[in-house]
Chain A
Amino acid sequence: DAKTTQPNSMESNEEEPVHLPCNHSTISGTDYIHWYRQLPSQGPEYVIHGLTSNVNNRMASLAIAEDRKSSTLILHRATLRDAAVYYCILRRETSYDKVIFGPGTSLSVIP
């Protein structure tokens, strides 16, 4: 499976937008980009996913580079509840094989 790399940590001020980057330079054409987040003392939860086009949902937006070698998770207005570890992973549509989570990005939100 293709790997992803993310910064270890980021900080944001409350109510400001946050852009969380993810590099996946070895992504294949059938790999979907998924984002999960893990709040303190909880299991991970799904945030968003996409293939080629930018995606929006109630939690966040996903911006995917034209060459698909990187993507950015956008939280439009960070709240204290968004402080979590964010994971970017790749999944193939037709294969449900091994899943590889990296260490993720630990986001701190400053009041």
Chain B
Amino acid sequence: EAQVTQNPRYLITVTGKKLTVTCSQNMNHEYMSWYRQDPGLGLRQIYYSMNVEVTDKGDVPEGYKVSRKEKRNFPLILESPSPNQTSLYFCASAVLSGPYEQYFGPGTRLTVT
């Protein structure tokens, strides 16, 4: 089954404790992206990647890092999480040609206390 998986689905952590949210897709997509979703603000893009070793900032990259060492994986790293990073995070992937539809993962709900 074609899918985007994220782990963990739920995470509660404390300020300053480094964490990584993993994202993996099995569709051989070149493009991958991370979004955060907050009430009233819709989806905001954090980082995106158009291929291995190619990453770019989205609208709200501050406080986040990403890496793309393999085509299928695109982890989101919070080196020193803060309470304002409490949010619902979505990973997405897509091909770079055709209808460009993005496939989204199920989401990771992160709470930073």
Q: Which residues of A contact B45 (CB under 8 A)?
A: 98-101
Interface-lining segment among B69-77, B79-87, B93-101: B93-101
Contact for A44 among B56, B96, B104, CB less than 8 A: B104
Count, chain B residues at interface, CB 8 A: 28
Contact B43 A34 (CB under 8 A): no
**How big is the A interface, by class?**
20 to 34
For the complex, would chain A's binding face be called helix, strand, loop or mixed by DSSP majority? Answer: loop
Mask, A28-71, CB within 8 Å of B = 1, is 00001010100000111110010000000000000000000000
Q: Assess whether B42 is in contact with A104, with CB atoms less than 8 Å apart.
A: yes
Residues on B with C-beta less than 8 A from A93 are 100
A45 cross-chain contacts in B, Cβ below 8 A: 104
- Given A43-B107, A100-B59, A101-B42: A91 and B100 interface contact (C-beta under 8 Å): yes
Tell me whether A32 and B104 are in contact (CB under 8 A). Answer: no
CA distance A34 to B43 in the complex (A): 15
A96-B48, A98-B48 are contacts. A87–B42 as well, Cβ < 8 Å? yes
Knowing that A43-B4, A44-B43, A46-B103 are A-B contacts, what are 5 other residue pairs whose CB atoms are under 8 Å apart, sorted by A's residue number?
A36-B102, A87-B43, A93-B100, A97-B56, A103-B41
Using CB atoms and an 8 Å cutoff, list the residues of chain B in contact with chain A: 4, 31, 33, 35, 40-45, 48, 50, 56, 58-59, 90, 92, 94, 96, 99-107
- What would 28 A/B residue contacts be, using CB atoms closer than 8 Å? A42-B106, A43-B4, A43-B92, A43-B106, A43-B107, A44-B43, A46-B99, A46-B101, A46-B102, A49-B99, A87-B43, A96-B31, A96-B96, A96-B100, A97-B56, A98-B48, A98-B56, A98-B59, A99-B33, A99-B102, A100-B45, A100-B59, A101-B42, A101-B43, A101-B45, A102-B42, A103-B40, A103-B42
